[in-house]
Amino acid sequence: MSKNITVSRSNKVVNATIQLTGSKSECNRALVIEALSGGKVKVTNVSDAADAVTLSGILRNATADAQGSPRTVDIGPAGTAMRFLTAYFPLQDGEILLTGTERMKQRPIGILVDAMRKLGARIDYAENEGFPPLHIKGGFDQVTDTITVQGDISSQYITALLLIAPNLPKGLDLHIAGELTSRPYVEMTLSMLKQAGIRYEWNDNVISIPNQEFSETQIWVEPDWSAASYWYSVAALADEAELFLPGLTSYSLQGDSVITELMANFGITSQFKDGGVHLKKEPKPVTRKIFDLKSCPDLAQTLIVVCAALGHEATFTGLETLKIKETDRIAALQNELGKMGVKLIEKGQVYKLDCSEKFVPEHITIATYEDHRMAMAFAPLALIIPNVEIEEAEVVNKSYPAFWDDFAKAGFEVR
């Protein structure tokens, strides 16, 4: 049953230690590598994010029922699982009907399906052309080792293809056309494959991975920098803040670790010591006016809400992929920021905050649109607005199930 949560706070001084769950991005990649390695690779510090739990369960049972009629695999709202499994299941035996929530059936998958079909995979659309659910017949003869995909699409399409490359009989030469938008996520995938003993070459716009065996190894999943971003947001909106996030490193594979640089603009210092990162708020006027979020689109909501709360009229670029996420995140931000008089104005591919009519209500109710990041990006507003009510608050389970418990631990009243 969906429930609303109201967050409030009596003072604006935050002091806490928060232990974050494993990175959803790293974990989902590691789980697929583990499955493709035939047990040679073991994953530790598995994330308890709902998406990772879903994917882990499906991969464990993937070989359980390979014969007979198509087996239905329902990934719910887990977008990463949908993309990774679209590439994974054609390499397995048996028939699968891969489906998800109603929203998942509206999220495009055609580019990845086209690429898999070119390789020789047998995939059909069960309902609408270009969208899940998918009817997948496992086991195929690879017809080519060369695929071209656009660089400005979801990096998860590219990652899905790279993950299966070592298991393809002919290997894979993946050509990236145009500019690669979410480069850090592709780099993360390749780094994790390398950890598992996979050799690759990346020359100009071509990534080549030959057919090869995985090595016996253990992949430890680092805590989630995307989850850390909400604590940076808390620090930015507090009068004083000292927070410690154990397990995070300065040499992370995760693109969202760039939050340390972004939030330095708001006076948040990040010190890596004692096996984690210490955040501290230093009084500092915010002067930076333009933020390019092309390589870290999952930080967009966090950063835009912080700027709006501080009345800082910044400009944002690199938000092209936001309209095809869990929801249309641009429209969702425009609707909810409007409740405090702030406009997010779209001009082509540039977005500008207009805070000229901003006001601070006594109570604000935030709709979440089945999007975990809407809930977590807006919750820190409780440092500015006396009562912040978040609708369908359990949506955070997708990536950060302990979010509300951690908020209470940090001294917020969560009811």
User: Do β-strands 240-246 and 13-17 pair in parallel, antiparallel, or remain unpaired?
Assistant: parallel
d(CA 45, CA 63): 24
Give the residue carrying structure tokens 């073991």. Answer: 42
Which has the closest alpha carbon to 63: 27, 41, 33, 94? 94
d(CA 74, CA 281): 44
d(CA 13, CA 412): 11
> Helices in 265-348 by DSSP H: which ranges?
300-310, 329-337
The DSSP annotation for 118-145 comes to HHT-EEEESSSTTSS-EEEE-------S
Active-site residue, 298 included = yes
AA identity, residue 210: P
DSSP type of residue 214 = P
3-class DSSP state for residue 286?
coil
Distance between the two ends of the chain, CA-based, in angstroms?
16
Contact status, residue 280 vs residue 300, Cβ threshold 8 Å: no
Catalytic residue among 51, 224, 256, 298: 298
* Strand boundaries in 160-288, DSSP class E: 172-177, 201-203, 206-209, 217-220, 240-246, 268-273, 276-281
**Phi then psi dihedrals of residue 295, to 5 deg:** -90, -5
Cis peptide before 285 (omega within 30 of 0): no
Element (H, E) at 407: helix 403-409
Cα 204 to chain centroid distance, Å, stands at 26
Query: Is 45 buried (19+), middle (13-18) or exposed (0-12) by CB count in 10 A?
Result: middle
B/e letters for 373-387, b = 16+ CB within 10 Å, e = fewer, are bbbbbbbbbbbbbeb
Give the count of beta carbons closer than 10 Å to the beta carbon of residue 127.
Answer: 11
Report the interhelical angle of 79-88 vs 24-36 (nearest 10°).
20
Which residues have a catalytic role annotated? 298
